[in-house]
Amino acid sequence: MPFPILRTPVVVISEIISILEPNEINARASGYIILRDIVSDNFRFDGKLGPANHLFIGSYGHWVTPNNLMNFDFIKIIIEESKLSVTDLNSFLRHWRAGGSSRLTFLKLDFKNDTMFENFDEDLEAVETDEVVEYRLSNGENLVYGNGYSIQRIDGVKALVRFEIHRFVMMVSNGTEII
């Protein structure tokens, strides 16, 4: 059975995931997966999550690894308290440029710690831009980001990437939420 909404008010995420069958975790869903519970510092998840439209990991996103991010199949991903490093993000961007995570149109990571970003890896061919990218939410609201870096996927699709001390945002050009 698909889980269009997964909310964890009492049970920890690791317990929810451990009771689901693999086909339930990977079930086609059209909506949201929301994970909002406390997990231990050593919690790990090595499977795939999705496909669905939205993934929100609130307050305890420290467990998300670069491999998790590459194996999530969502259109929009928001992760709070991420511990991903600049090296991890460069690996993810390399994966995206090669055609991975092709459905992803919006990624926002709020970092648990200050993250100092200096330069993109040279092979990412990131170009500083003052281009403004608009992303329409399903409620009609528009998110507008500008003054970041443009990167291009092998199929020609471009994304605007912004990196701040506590936040990383990636918006695929002309990305429009579908729900």
pLDDT tens by residue, 26-51: 445 458 888 877 888 888 888 888 88
Residue appearing with tokens 């199949």:
73
- The torsion region of residue 92 among left (phi > 0), alpha (psi -120 to 50) and beta comes to alpha
> CB atoms < 10 A from the CB of 72, how many?
22
Lowest mean pLDDT among 35-39, 101-105, 140-144, 174-178: 174-178
b/e code 90-110 from CB counts within 10 Å (16+ = b): bbbbbbbbeeebeebbbbbbb
Residue appearing with tokens 């059209």:
30
pTM for the whole structure: 0.79
> Between β-strands 49-57 and 32-35, what pairing exists: parallel, antiparallel or unpaired?
parallel
Residue 57 and residue 27 in contact, taking contact as beta carbons nearer than 8 Å = no
